Amino acid sequence: MSRTARTVQTAQDTRAAAEWDYDRLVDIAGRHGTPVHVLDAGRLDRAARELLAALDSLSRPTRVYYSVKTNYLPYLCRRLAGHGMGADVVSGYELDAALAAGFRPEATVFNGPVKTEEELAAAVRHGVRVNIDGEQEIETLERLAAAAGRTIEVGIRISPGLPLSTSSDPSYRTLAERAARRNRFGWPAGSAQLAGLVERIAACPHLSLTAVHAHLSSQIVHQDLMAAALEPILREAAALHRTFGLREVNIGGGFGVPGIRRPRTGPLTALWGMQGGTPLPDEEPVMDVAGLLTGVDKRLGELGLADVALACEPGRWLVSDAMALVTRVMSRKELPDARWLILDGGNNVAPWTGSGEVHRMVPLGRSYAPASAAWSVAGPLCYENDIHAASVELPEDMRVGDLLCLHDTGAYSLGRSNNFIRTRAAVVAVDGDREELVWRAETGADVFRLADPGARPSESP
């Protein structure tokens, strides 16, 4: 099947576009080499302050748990912990990293569909609340709490069964609705399974159900869909509150950011493409997080949850625009049917290649021709889907050696990067005039250290 060459318009993020100091990025690329991640601590602080201010304006106590999996860079975690927020962790090693970065254990939650006995024991030991997302966790936690001679608070994860994204392509919508109903995280609001698990928790003398947890998806840009999906969660919370007296309703993260575009088309669009059709990409709305939180705050009050804290677990929204990835054009290939730019950074450092997600790209380092052309942009890996964009408008005179900056790369880049074919890149943090290498580039020797039988075994959580 031939791929329809279609120009993807990346959403323009004026806040992100205007304020990066590109001369500085060029300078850093010159001294540290490419590809290189640059973290701007000022941008991170700004996002943190904006979120905390939005929460402060609400009518109830609020809590923020930063999603450590979104970016586990210690420098970044320390910075966010410094704003007083807690952490959301989904594994034992993330818990260790979160506590080492200064997130307070009593302001931290342990989530995720799999938690080993060792991980649950660590959570109990540190006083980190567990949001239950597996049946076996109930009995294990009861046993651990009894052994510690304590009653511990737990939450339970609930899912709405409703889609969080939409498209003008009805086949996409059908698939999204089916996937939402089959979602394996949490238990559906109103279901017999959820009621059964709540009963089992209630029967445990050392467990106290004090929180409802939901996390719906990532990069949610449709605020109305998010509000609609939260409604059954909030209703379930209201019912549980009458029996258990909840302390917290946690709506999770997933707040979408501008500047990133995900493909939202289904098989129908693909068929149409095969017939020569060129569908226009759907408009991407921009999520108004303060507006969403205000709406949830109000709804909680209406449902009789006036005294219950509202918690959220943003990852991407806090960190996405604080990082940029500077890459270099290594090859320019003109084929009869395509014009490729091949960069030195691909799926190894930009793990969203392969998924069709497109980030804003800005050429740096010289003045470019005003005329633009449709380019296909790829990473360097011998892997078919290592593609940054099937078709994107960039200056016509792009050439080998040019720097290309990929924006909004703070989320799911470092932690998901890998050493398939090429090693992982360094992170340089800038903070006002200061600059610091906060994560060095991986070497081949780093990769093969694991094959050394004399190497120190890694520590368990």
Q: How far is the CB of 142 from ligand PLP (least distance, A)?
A: 23
* Cβ–Cβ < 8 Å for 115, 84: no
Q: How far is the CB of 393 from ligand PLP (least distance, A)?
A: 28
Rule CB under 6 A: is residue 129 a binding residue for ligand PLP? Answer: no
Q: How far is the CB of 221 from ligand PLP (least distance, A)?
A: 11
Rule CB under 6 A: is residue 37 a binding residue for ligand PLP? Answer: no
Which CB atom, from 172 or from 317, has the smaller least distance to ligand PLP? Answer: 317
Q: How far is the CB of 279 from ligand PLP (least distance, A)?
A: 27
Rule CB under 6 A: is residue 115 a binding residue for ligand PLP? Answer: no
Rule CB under 6 A: is residue 90 a binding residue for ligand PLP? Answer: yes
Interface with ligand PLP (CB under 6 A), residue from 10, 111, 210, 413:
111
Q: What secondary structure letter does DSSP report for 68?
A: G
Distance CA 105, CA 123 (A): 9
Q: Which residue type occupies 29?
A: A
Rule CB under 6 A: is residue 429 a binding residue for ligand PLP? Answer: no
Residues 140-199 that bind ligand PLP (CB under 6 A): none
Q: How far is the CB of 253 from ligand PLP (least distance, A)?
A: 3
340: Cβ contacts below 8 Å, ≥ 6 apart: 331, 332, 333, 334, 375, 376, 377, 378
3-state secondary structure of 109: strand
Rule CB under 6 A: is residue 413 a binding residue for ligand PLP? Answer: no
Binding residues for ligand PLP, total number by CB under 6 A: 18
Among candidate residues 144, 180, 148, 137, the one with its CA nearest the CA of residue 161: 180
Hey, what are 332's tokens? Answer: 């320019």
For every residue of 294-307, DSSP letters joined together read HHHHHHHHHTT-TT
Distance CA 162, CA 219 (A): 15
Omega prior to 35 cis, within 30 of 0:
yes
* Cβ–Cβ < 8 Å for 191, 183: no
Rule CB under 6 A: is residue 92 a binding residue for ligand PLP? Answer: no
Interface with ligand PLP (CB under 6 A), residue from 32, 63, 69, 328:
69
Q: How far is the CB of 71 from ligand PLP (least distance, A)?
A: 9
Rule CB under 6 A: is residue 259 a binding residue for ligand PLP? Answer: no
Region near ligand PLP per CB under 6 A, out of 50-58, 65-73, 346-354, 414-422: 65-73
For every residue of 215-243, DSSP letters joined together read ---SSB--HHHHHHHHHHHHHHHHHHHHH
**Site track for ligand PLP across 306-345, x = CB under 6 A:** -------xxxxx----------------------------
Interface with ligand PLP (CB under 6 A), residue from 254, 363, 365, 380:
254
Q: How far is the CB of 131 from ligand PLP (least distance, A)?
A: 8
Q: What angle do CA 140, 145, 147 make, to 5 degrees?
A: 95
What count of other Cβ atoms lies within 10 Å of the Cβ of residue 314? 25
First and final C-alpha spacing in the chain: 47
What residues line the site for ligand PLP (CB under 6 A)?
A: 67, 69-70, 88, 90, 111, 215, 218, 252-255, 313-317, 411
